[in-house]
Structure 1
């Protein structure tokens, strides 16, 4: 790994640690978010609209910038203008910028780093619906369980039938449905059906049948 690559990775980790609530999560947190973080450093993530990226041109700070991806999927880069970012990986965008800058700079070194993941914000949420006190759409957090989500929604209301709770998880071809014995979890501490959640999961607590 050359010096420029090492510095680029260190810069990416620094940005992650100081960014706000919508920034890329720390790899040490584990789970799905850790996998996503790892993919960023490996260059596999496909940039989307509203993502925010940092462009660093080695020894040319006047060309370095941090920009959002516009609705048309493009970004504006000093000196060379618009560059297609949406649908490409950071590595691919860096290569495009490098090629365009080569007309003005001899052998430019370019790094593209994602600082905020905004295009996938809603795909990364967990939702709790039905007979809870406050139906919620909440950000997914590594380690979150069904019980965590229900408690964050204020718990079940007086009309709930908690042992008929369902967890819905959308797969590639179908939606998987899991039975959750929420009453047993809440009152008896039986955690067998207290499933770990994944981004996009929906927990539904039905009302009692009178």
Structure 2
């Protein structure tokens, strides 16, 4: 009988410790999953202060505490969205932070006391890569993308690629920049062209 009492007492005393260990394991797993997600999708956590939205970007506008005013959409060719209560807001050619500020200012007072607006990127518009790469195609842009990274995304050079003859056609101006370095930045809408070697 005494052995059973000792066993039960030990069990009761150990339950809080077991529960705490279980909580710590769950928290640890959650932290690992979050870190893994950040590594797999680094663009989600990049600072977008210097990114100008354009046609094809998919964004989410969140007004905290106002789910009816929050919305997800793809930026259209007009570059304008009709936002609840305040009407048209120009999206294309502007940074997320500039749009957040405008919506907050236009909502403040007449509609909300102290609105808080956040813009999240759902997906970026495409850049393109053609010529002597393994998988020429259009791919989703990534912040701070370089020519070298673009080539890697497209599967790398083919055996016939001329690594010293790479050009970029600007998506913004249609201008062709020849003989770019691997470190040259690639912008959304740009087309990277890797020429063929003749030797």
TM-score bin, normalised by smaller chain? 0.5 to 0.7
Shifted more, 139-148 versus 168-177: the winner is 139-148
Preserved contact between residue 135 and residue 154 of structure 2 (Cα < 8 Å): no
Q: Which has the larger radius of gyration?
A: 2
User: Corresponding residue for 2:165?
Assistant: 167
Preserved contact between residue 67 and residue 76 of structure 1 (Cα < 8 Å): no
Q: In the alignment, is residue 203 of structure 1 matched against residue 177 of structure 2?
A: no
Q: 1-side partners of 2:76 and 2:179: how far apart?
A: 35
User: Corresponding residue for 1:10?
Assistant: none
Report Cα offsets for 1:42-61 as digits up to 9, x if no partner: x2211112212111111111
Q: 1-side partners of 2:61 and 2:193: how far apart?
A: 37
Q: In the alignment, is residue 39 of structure 1 matched against residue 47 of structure 2?
A: yes
Q: In the alignment, is residue 176 of structure 1 matched against residue 190 of structure 2?
A: no
Structure 1 regions of 5+ residues with no counterpart?
1-13, 19-24, 28-33, 157-161, 179-194
Structure 2 regions of 5+ residues with no counterpart?
1-33, 142-147, 170-174
Compute the TM-score of the two structures, normalised by the length of structure 1: 0.54
Compute the displacement of 1:198 (Å).
6.8
Query: Number of residues paired by the alignment?
Result: 146
2:76 to 70, 85, 99: 70
Q: 2-side partners of 1:163 and 1:56: how far apart?
A: 45
Compute the displacement of 1:202 (Å).
1.9
CA RMSD of aligned residues (A): 3.9
Q: Please state whether the residue corresponding to 1:82 is helix, strand or coil.
A: strand
Report Cα offsets for 1:155-199 as digits up to 9, x if no partner: x6xxxxx48675313499841168xxxxxxxxxxxxxxxx78974
Preserved contact between residue 145 and residue 197 of structure 1 (Cα < 8 Å): no
Compute the TM-score of the two structures, normalised by the length of structure 2: 0.56
